[in-house]
Amino acid sequence: SIIIFSAILSVFFLKRRLQPFHWVATAIVFVGLVIVGLASMLDSSGSSDVSPTQRLVGIGLVVGAQLCSAFQMVFEEKLLTG
């Protein structure tokens, strides 16, 4: 998900124009993340003591961490390039 967030943040903060193939690749990554997230939510073979709410919180925390990391990378690039 860091790829998705980096692409979006670089467009807004760095005023970078991404090519159509960049957006297609970002969409492919998004679809992959949705599939993995759904598989995690629907998987019943894992540990039974984890509720779906706890899984959602875990996924949310990971996505939040990726957003922070993407922001840090884009912000560093903005600072270094002026």
Choose the weakest-confidence range: 3-7, 25-29, 55-59, 60-64: 55-59
DSSP secondary structure, the chain, as one string: -HHHHHHHHHHHHS-PPPPHHHHHHHHHHHHHHHHHHHHHHH--SS-TTS-HHHHHHHHHHHHHHHHHHHHHHHHHHHHHH-
* Confidence category of residue 4, pLDDT binned at 50, 70, 90: very high
Prediction pTM value: 0.79
Least confident of 4-18, 36-50, 55-69: 36-50
Token digits for 56?
């959602």
The pLDDT value given to residue 36: 87
